Amino acid sequence: MSLSAPRTARLLLAGVLACVATGCGRAPEPEPTASRPHIVLVIADDLGWGDLPKYGGPATTPTLDALAREGRRLEQFHTFPLCTPSRAALLTGRVPLADGLAWSPLRPWSDLGLPSDAETLPELLQAAGYHTALLGKWHLGHTRADQHPQRHGFDHFYGFLTGAIDYFTHQSRDGGLDWQRNGKTVDEPGYVTRLLTEEAERLIAAHDFSQPLFLMLSYSAPHRPMQAPTETLEQMDAWQDPAEKLYAAMLAEFDQGLARVQSAIAAAGVAEDTLWLVISDNGAALQLGGSNDPLKGGKSAVTQGGLRVPAWVHWPSRIEGGAPIEEFTTVMNLAPTLAGFAQTQFATPQDGHDLHRAWLGEASYPTPQAAVFVAHNDQRGQMAIIDWPWKLLRRIDRDGGEAREQLFRLDEDPTESKNLIREQELQAQTMREELARWLAQDPQGVSLERLPDWQGDAPEMWKAPAAWAEALR
């Protein structure tokens, strides 16, 4: 595999940083896991703030409930409102404007993807001696080999490349089998959530835990298509509405899968040495049975229902459970923070702070960095900048007209009910100027007045490949 000069230099620097952290002169032996934990990063797809009992929702999720009790909730955790930008930010620690990945999910016909020279969390952890595995959804590029997970730091990949697949047939939403193991199509029966759990169990059982493990378990539930095993649906007697019953069944499968992975970690004897981080990638899709109550809006919107999502961190031996973490936290914080736990660091600048010492109670929380979130469709675009506790929200219609703006103070108004734009004109202007500086990073010529072109419709001659794993250009 060939590497670009910047990527090669960055990998060498990552190796030097890992060497400094662990000692040089010979192949470093793994640090005690009390210092460097095994890391399990679990992603729920489209899980909303109001979906779970802890947040007032009706779902039955005993595993997540226990995690909330025993770990710590990230009470002000914010992501992008869509899959691709959240996942790009998660792996790189950067707002993905400069990479052209911030505004919408990657469509099956798109040639875009995570840049080949992007510095990623799994790449850093790999250089620091971790075994790295991704199970589940990628959604960061599928048309070139250099966009695929194993070219971005994952030793092992089992799952799918595009944004959504049938839970039983594993066909991508627009056709073509999208199910693979390490670049080779796998045609096998099974419900996706259960297959990912079983792969995690196999991987954990086979792993030599003298080497630290980074497992990113990227479930597709409860993302559409809305499908669940019949036997699970039959257990959802408490729900009368068919959409809510189906949604609850998908969440139950997710929760049961998480319990099985926890049991596998415990059986391996490393429960006390394992850091768990469980997040949603964006708010719930309201039309599919999800809830973001009492927050406004949902998936695809830069209102709080699209951005503020459930998240928990748990490390039994090091992070004392109980009180929630109230500080403003974004998905951009996670890559530098997990790198910090692994005693390594990024060579490139990040848009999020390393919070690992704050989570351990060894340091105070740094002043939050401002964060920008965007989304668009064929009719309008939305932009938001949060400079805690202030949030400026801006909407633009494609057919012209005056931009509409709102300003909220989120610590006092989490449901965005009181627009302070007239009372706080200076604050709004300061944030508007900062938003403009962020938007200037986008290679598509975006500004406060100009949206990126809409590319949500398939080209006339486009056709899905028969199998996505081998469909490379």
Q: Could you list the active site residues? A: 83, 139
**Kind plus residue range of the DSSP H or E element containing 248:** helix 242-267
What CA dihedral angle connects 108, 302, 136 and 341, to 10 degrees?
Answer: 140
Residue 184, phi then psi, degrees to nearest 5:
-120, 130
Integer Cα distance of 96 and 351 in angstroms: 10
- Which residues lie across from 328 on neighbouring strands? 76
Residue 121, phi then psi, degrees to nearest 5:
-60, -50
- Which residues lie across from 277 on neighbouring strands? 41, 313
Are 226 and 288 in contact, with CB atoms under 8 Å apart?
Answer: yes
Cis check: omega of the bond before 389, within 30 degrees of 0: yes
β-strand pairing of 131-137 with 156-160? parallel
DSSP for 428-462, please give it.
Answer: HHHHHHHHHHHHTT-TT---SS-PPPP--S--TT-
> Is 254 in a helix, a strand, or coil?
helix
